[in-house]
């Protein structure tokens, strides 16, 4: 065991010194409190500067923090095949830093020579000073030099000695120029969407900028590792349309050609898928270039296909005909008396171009008999006719995709005049848009369903996610399959044998209807003399309709101004080209021997060409209004010219009932409609017809011989009679005997 000696107190004092006394303890406490006070003061100051920094410190901090605006381009627009119709592109603009300009007037003069700008105005802007007397740092010289080459821009930078610089700006660009311009609309230089799709789907197409904030290094570069704030940009979705640009080009080219041939003021057309409502082409002519929108007047930039309304004329007869077929009032074989081509219902003389007698309904529809359609409308009656027009969607907007679309002009039932039932069944006293007419023919083409037209299929984010997808509303059936089949056959007869022969396509059986209507005087007071709207609407192929095409030409200045001649060839070209492009199987037109009529069709095409060449020789000036004769009378015109001048009303007047509290209490020709309906029993057809004509009433007859019964009964006020139906029999009942029978009844 090892023993260790303990140090004595003396040895400890020598090693460590004396123990602190009270004075030393006091000094140590004072030092400690001094340090605590010092650290507390520094801490308070730091906290104060953090919460309320001085200006110079704030500015110094800002010098070490940078911000960047994150911009994305506006979304692209492309067609169903991926072809771009609208996009953003970078174009150069020139700006100047006045502080770097030594000779403002000299520089302005040089820029005038290169850019054609006002040197005086530029000099004033470059020499303008702020309140502190300092020159501005930034002045625009000229913006959006889209076609300027790089060498030209470098030359300007060089002779300005660095005072003028180039800055690239994003502007909207339409690579297909005027293709579908009215449907697309445009974006102005301020980046604001104006009209068309650009405006309707602006919430998807527009891009909202984001922000990126971070600390900067000594080179003023933002440091990603020291990011303080990040907000990503939003929007800029791409939009895919249902349009097929190839079909659009065909439609536009055909309309332009026909406008030139007929010296028309305007034209428009639409190609639709009747089963889905997808619009494959929509054109309004004349066109405009959205890249240079400010070079065109506003009235030329509007989409007339959706905004302008017109009387559909005989193309509207599909509504009256299908309604009567659906209600079982007529069949294709129902015999209708067309009165030899002249009829005076309701005090308004109506003429047929093809003067016919008693003919089956299919023949009446094929030849576009106005008289037959008035009688069919009378069978329906005002209430049912009004209901069917509404079922077809007339008087209402057709689609959610069409901003500013017109609902058309369709008078409410209580505002119908006495003349309405003599005009409305054949397309007068109603104004429609082209897209409404296309939807109506889609009902005939797709099996009887009312569809919603649309042209935007979907919108896609930059990540490829669908932000919008067109949702088709549930289709509403308004016609039965049997009625649809009958109407398709009737419409095919119109092209095969009737007023639409110029629209015949040998490779595809097509159905359609012509229409020609006078144009209302914009100042009121009737119609514009010699001004017409030509219409052709139809579908193909009849075996399985895939497309509906509507063609409208405004005020063709040629003698043959009716719808079949003016619009039929355009329909033929556009429909045939579109069906071929879509690889639709042929449904050829066959003759009575079952042979294709290709060669026969080619021969038929020569006749209108010969007429067209004659028109070209004589149409050096706008055609004068033609007289109503057998050669030039419009096949779809509903009344004599002299009578039209007397009874026609403007579109505004159409929707106002005739004067008087009671609707149609008196006719315009002075006949008292309160007069009781006479008893026709025992009269011959000639006697009854003469009596009805003096009363201005339409009539329907069954059988031969003498009248044995009538509907409505005798004594009914003439103003309440829509159609007088007379039953004839070979058993003669002499008028004298009838009078004796009536005398006996009166004495009883």
The predicted pLDDT at position 609 comes to: 42
The predicted pLDDT at position 339 comes to: 85
217 with 280, same domain: the answer is no
More confident call, 299 vs 702: 299
Phi-psi region at 371: left, alpha or beta (left = phi > 0; alpha = psi -120 to 50): alpha
The predicted pLDDT at position 2 comes to: 58
Pairing relationship of beta strands 266-272 and 279-285 according to DSSP bridges: antiparallel
* Gap between the Cα atoms of 698 and 418, Å rounded: 13
Number of other residues whose CB lies within 10 A of the CB of residue 297: 9
Q: Is residue 108 part of a domain?
A: yes
* Gap between the Cα atoms of 505 and 584, Å rounded: 14
Residue range(s) defining the domain that contains residue 105:
69-238
Q: Is residue 56 part of a domain?
A: no
17 with 110, same domain: the answer is no
DSSP letters for 289-330: -GGGGGGS-HHHHS-HHHH--B--GGGGHHHHHHHHHHTTS-
Q: Is residue 61 part of a domain?
A: no
Q: Indicate the number of domains in the chain.
A: 4
Q: Is residue 300 part of a domain?
A: yes
580 with 552, same domain: the answer is yes
Q: Is residue 478 part of a domain?
A: yes
pLDDT tens track for 199-254: 989 999 988 777 777 777 666 676 666 666 767 777 789 999 999 999 999 999 99
Q: Is residue 272 part of a domain?
A: yes
290 with 419, same domain: the answer is yes
pLDDT tens track for 496-542: 988 899 999 999 999 999 998 888 777 766 778 888 999 999 999 99
109 with 45, same domain: the answer is no
Residue 55 sits at φ, ψ, to 5 deg, of: -55, -45
- Identify which of 655, 721, 653 has the alpha carbon closest to the alpha carbon of residue 414: 655
List the single range of 261-275, 430-444, 470-484, 680-694 with lowest mean pLDDT. Answer: 680-694
The predicted pLDDT at position 224 comes to: 67
The CATH code of the domain that includes 689 is: 3.30.10.20
- Identify which of 377, 422, 471 has the alpha carbon closest to the alpha carbon of residue 638: 422
pLDDT tens track for 385-416: 999 999 999 999 988 888 778 899 998 988 88
730 CB-near residues (< 8 Å, 6+ apart): 703, 704, 705
The CATH code of the domain that includes 81 is: 3.90.1310.10
Q: Is it the case that residue 108 has pLDDT exceeding 90? A: no
* Gap between the Cα atoms of 63 and 75, Å rounded: 35
Range 181-201 average pLDDT? 86
- Identify which of 503, 502, 567, 510 has the alpha carbon closest to the alpha carbon of residue 269: 567
The CATH code of the domain that includes 591 is: 3.40.710.10
Asked which of 647, 681, 702 is the last residue of a domain, the reply is 647
* Gap between the Cα atoms of 242 and 630, Å rounded: 45
List the single range of 232-236, 298-302, 548-552 with lowest mean pLDDT. Answer: 232-236
The predicted pLDDT at position 59 comes to: 58
Q: Is it the case that residue 666 has pLDDT exceeding 90? A: no
* Gap between the Cα atoms of 558 and 531, Å rounded: 10
pLDDT band with cut points at 50, 70 and 90 for residue 77:
very high
pLDDT tens track for 630-657: 333 345 544 443 333 333 333 333 333 3
pLDDT band with cut points at 50, 70 and 90 for residue 61:
low
150 with 250, same domain: the answer is no
- For 45, 349, 368, 641, 653, the CA distances from 646, given in Å and listed in that order, are 97, 11, 24, 9, 14
Mean pLDDT, the chain, rounded, equals 79
Range 289-317 average pLDDT? 88
264 with 202, same domain: the answer is no
Q: What share of the chain is helix, strand, coil (3-state, %, to 5)?
A: 40, 20, 40
Q: Is residue 336 part of a domain?
A: no
For the chain, percent of residues with pLDDT exceeding 90: 34
43 with 76, same domain: the answer is no
The predicted pLDDT at position 53 comes to: 61
For the chain, percent of residues with pLDDT exceeding 70: 78
List the single range of 107-116, 243-252, 265-274, 338-347 with lowest mean pLDDT. Answer: 107-116
pLDDT tens track for 716-733: 887 667 677 888 887 654
Pairing relationship of beta strands 84-96 and 139-142 according to DSSP bridges: antiparallel
* Gap between the Cα atoms of 90 and 72, Å rounded: 12
Asked which of 238, 266, 295 is the last residue of a domain, the reply is 238
The answer to whether 437 touches 312, Cβ cutoff 8 Å, is yes
520 with 445, same domain: the answer is yes
The predicted pLDDT at position 634 comes to: 41
pLDDT tens track for 126-176: 777 777 777 777 777 777 777 777 777 777 777 776 677 777 778 889 999
536 with 431, same domain: the answer is yes
Q: What pairs with residue 689 in β-bridges?
A: none
402 with 524, same domain: the answer is yes
* Gap between the Cα atoms of 436 and 445, Å rounded: 14
Q: Is residue 333 part of a domain?
A: no
73 with 203, same domain: the answer is yes
pLDDT tens track for 680-713: 888 887 788 778 767 767 777 777 778 888 888 8
Q: Is it the case that residue 457 has pLDDT exceeding 90? A: yes
Structure tokens given for 532: 């017409």
106 CB-near residues (< 8 Å, 6+ apart): none
DSSP letters for 598-640: HHHHHHHHHHHHHHHHHHHHH-SSPPPPPP--TTT--TT--S-
494 CB-near residues (< 8 Å, 6+ apart): 365, 366, 368, 500, 511, 512, 513, 514
**Environment class of 18 (CB within 10 Å of its CB; exposed 0-12, middle 13-18, buried 19+):** exposed
């Amino acid at each position: 065991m090892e023993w260790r000696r303990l140090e004595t107190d003396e040895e400890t004092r020598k090693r460590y010194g004396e123990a602190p006394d009270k004075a030393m303890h006091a000094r140590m406490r004072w030092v400690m409190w001094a340090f605590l006070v010092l650290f507390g003061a520094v801490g308070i100051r730091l906290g104060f500067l953090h919460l309320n920094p001085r200006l110079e410190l704030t500015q110094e901090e800002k010098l070490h923090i940078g911000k960047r605006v994150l911009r994305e381009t506006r979304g692209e627009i492309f067609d169903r095949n991926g072809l771009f119709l609208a996009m953003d592109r970078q174009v150069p603009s020139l700006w100047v830093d006045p502080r770097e300009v030594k000779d403002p007037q000299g520089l302005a003069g040089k820029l005038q020579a290169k850019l054609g700008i006002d040197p005086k105005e530029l000099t004033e802007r470059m020499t303008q000073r702020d309140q502190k007397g300092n020159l501005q740092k930034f002045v625009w010289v000229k913006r959006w030099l889209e076609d300027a080459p790089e060498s030209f821009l470098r030359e300007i930078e060089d002779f300005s000695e660095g005072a003028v610089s180039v800055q690239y700006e994003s502007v909207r660009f339409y690579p297909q120029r005027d293709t579908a311009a009215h449907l697309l609309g445009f974006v102005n230089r301020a980046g604001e969407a104006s009209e068309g799709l650009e405006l309707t789907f602006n919430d998807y197409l527009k891009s909202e900028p984001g922000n990126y904030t971070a600390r900067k290094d000594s080179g003023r570069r933002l440091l990603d590792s020291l990011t303080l704030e990040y907000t990503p940009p939003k929007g800029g979705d791409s939009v895919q349309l249902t349009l097929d640009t190839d079909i659009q080009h065909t439609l536009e080219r055909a309309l332009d050609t026909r406008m030139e041939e007929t010296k028309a003021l305007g034209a428009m057309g639409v190609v639709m898928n009747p089963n889905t409502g997808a619009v494959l082409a929509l054109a309004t002519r004349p066109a405009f270039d959205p890249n240079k929108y400010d070079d065109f007047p506003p009235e030329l930039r509007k989409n007339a296909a959706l905004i302008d309304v017109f009387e559909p004329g005989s193309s509207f007869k599909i509504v009256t005909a299908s309604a009567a077929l659906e209600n079982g009032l007529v069949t294709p074989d129902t015999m209708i008396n067309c009165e030899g081509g002249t009829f005076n219902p309701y005090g308004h003389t109506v003429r047929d171009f093809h003067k016919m007698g008693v003919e089956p309904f299919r023949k009446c529809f094929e030849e576009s008999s106005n008289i037959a359609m008035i009688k069919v409308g009378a069978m329906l009656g005002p209430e049912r006719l009004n209901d069917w027009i509404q079922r077809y969607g007339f008087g209402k907007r057709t689609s959610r995709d069409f901003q500013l679309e017109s609902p058309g002009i369709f008078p409410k039932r209580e505002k119908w005049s006495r003349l309405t039932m003599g005009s409305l069944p054949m397309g007068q006293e109603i104004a429609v848009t082209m897209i409404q007419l296309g939807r109506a023919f889609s009902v005939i083409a797709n099996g009887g369903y009312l569809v919603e037209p649309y042209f935007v299929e979907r919108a896609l984010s930059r990540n490829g996610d669908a932000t919008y997808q067109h949702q088709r509303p549930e289709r509403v059936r308004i016609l039965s399959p049997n009625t649809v089949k009958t109407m398709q056959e009737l419409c095919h007869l119109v092209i095969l044998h009737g007023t639409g022969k110029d629209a015949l396509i040998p490779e595809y059986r097509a159905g359609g209807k012509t229409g020609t209507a006078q144009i209302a005087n914009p100042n009121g007071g009737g119609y514009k003399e010699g001004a017409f709207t030509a219409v052709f609407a139809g579908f193909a192929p009849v075996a399985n309709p895939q497309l509906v095409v509507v063609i409208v030409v405004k005020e063709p200045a040629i003698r043959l101004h009716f719808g079949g001649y003016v619009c039929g060839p355009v329909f033929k070209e556009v429909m045939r080209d579109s069906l071929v492009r879509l690889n639709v199987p042929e449904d050829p037109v066959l003759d009575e021997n079952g042979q294709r009529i290709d060669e026969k069709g080619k021969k038929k095409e020569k006749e209108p060409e010969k007429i067209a060449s004659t028109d070209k020789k004589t149409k050096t000036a706008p055609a004068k209004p033609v007289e109503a004769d057998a050669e030039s009378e419009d096949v779809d015109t509903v009344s004599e010219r002299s009578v039209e001048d007397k009874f026609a009303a403007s579109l505004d007047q159409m929707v106002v009932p005739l004067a008087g509290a009671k609707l149609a209490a008196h006719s315009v020709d002075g006949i008292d409609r309160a007069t009781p309906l006479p008893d026709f029993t025992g009269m011959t057809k000639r006697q009854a017809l003469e009596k009805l004509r003096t009363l201005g009433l339409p009539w329907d007859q069954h059988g031969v011989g003498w009248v044995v019964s009538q509907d409505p009964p005798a004594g009914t006020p003439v103003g309440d009679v829509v159609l007088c139906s007379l039953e004839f029999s070979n058993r003669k009942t002499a008028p004298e005997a009838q009078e004796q029978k009536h005398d006996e009844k009166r004495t009883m």
